[in-house]
Amino acid sequence: MRIRCGCYLLAGVLALLAPAAQALRIDGLNPLEPQLAVDVMPTVTAHRMEIRLRDRLLSVAPWPSFLPQRFGRQKIEASRRLLPAGPSDRLSFTRPAERRPWLIVGQGARDGTVLAGAWRLQRAGDGWAIAEGGNVQAWHAAAPLSVPVDGARWCLYLLDADQPTLQKGVAAEREPQAAWAAQRLDANRACAPMR
């Protein structure tokens, strides 16, 4: 009996010490200076993307394995909006020969945030949905959604969701937020499964 109790105690302690699932973070952004960089080459190493600019280093971690791991030269647009419950960040990647982004990554998105085209993030009970006009689709972290945007197909990935627990009669200092990615698909390609 003592051995079994000791095992349960040890398992509980190890569970508390184990690192929690790491939320997506975008670092290096300045809310007073949106970044626009042309001809930069992002690199991905050990689940971390880095973008070296003249005066700073932008990073995204953890970088999901189902998103692109190798990049050619890109134009990067990066912005951070400061909000009372924390920042909302957005990075857009555009290839040199193109006029529109092919990959967008965001963190700290709130209800109503534009994701790609006219698709917006929307609260749906205790979860999330995406909406374009009257078209609403439930959105879960288990699988991407494929949606039309300007004649192309895009994959929308829900990377992370923070759903603070609200207590009746207690003011909330946090609000529901999500980390997400949107990737334009090349012809005849499907969304990469989330693994």
Indicate whether 7 belongs to any domain: no
Domain that holds residue 111: 22-184
- Does residue 8 lie in a domain region? no
Is residue 6 domain-resident? no
Count the domains in the chain. 1
pLDDT digits (tens, 9 = 90+) for 95-154: 999 999 999 999 999 999 999 999 999 999 889 999 999 999 999 888 999 999 999 999
Question: Which residues are CB-neighbours of 193 under 8 A, at least 6 positions away?
Answer: 66, 143, 144
Domain presence at residue 3: no
- Evaluate if residue 3 carries a pLDDT over 60: no
- Return the C-alpha torsion angle 165, 122, 143, 66, nearest 10: -100
- Residue-wise pLDDT tens digits, 154-167: 999 999 998 766 66
d(CA 73, CA 179): 24
> Is position 190 within any domain?
no
> For the chain, how are helix, strand and coil distributed in percent, rounded to 5?
10, 45, 45
Helix ranges (DSSP H) in the chain: 2-17
What's the Cα-to-Cα distance from 12 to each of 4, 15, 20, 21, rounded to whole Å? 12, 5, 14, 17
Q: Report pTM.
A: 0.84
The pLDDT value given to residue 188? 83
| Residue 14 resides in a domain | no
